[in-house]
Amino acid sequence: MAKETLRQKQSRFARMVSELIAQATVMGYEVTLGDAYRDPRVFGAVGEAQGYGNADSLHKQRLAIDLNLFRNGRLLASTRAHQGLGEWWEMRGGTWGGRFDDGNHYSLEHNGVK
């Protein structure tokens, strides 16, 4: 089996995110989108620290998204609020930021970066 290219992984991640949002709805959350793609003109190229976030952030490679969860119109900002959804995401092969104190972060590992 040929190694998955970055572009192929980006497409797989996009499909996975649609399932993630659907699952959040099933779990009773309302969802808004946070950071997804971080443009290199603002955040620097991969490996370059500019602005906030990690220099090797998967947001820069279109392999990460931050989701905001709401229940009854109220933002659920804690990592704990994301735990059930994060564990569901992990069971499907994603990486959940709750394992490194970034609870609303959902990504797909690439070249060892989570």
Query: What is the structure's pLDDT at 37?
Result: 78
- Closest listed residue to residue 66, CA positions, set 92, 104, 32: 104
Domain count within the chain: 1
17 is a domain residue: yes
114 is a domain residue: no
Radius of gyration, alpha carbons of the chain: 14
Q: What is the mean pLDDT of residues 107-113?
A: 91
pLDDT of 29-83, one tens digit each? 999 999 887 666 555 555 556 555 665 679 888 999 999 999 999 999 999 999 9
pLDDT of 90-101, one tens digit each? 999 999 999 999
Q: pTM of the full predicted structure?
A: 0.88
Work out the pLDDT band at 112, boundaries 50, 70, 90.
confident
Question: What are the beta bridge partners of residue 64?
Answer: 107
Cβ atoms 70, 32 nearer than 8 A = yes
Residues in the chain: 114
Give the mean pLDDT of the chain: 88
Domain that holds residue 57: 6-107
CATH number (domain holding residue 66): 3.30.1380.10
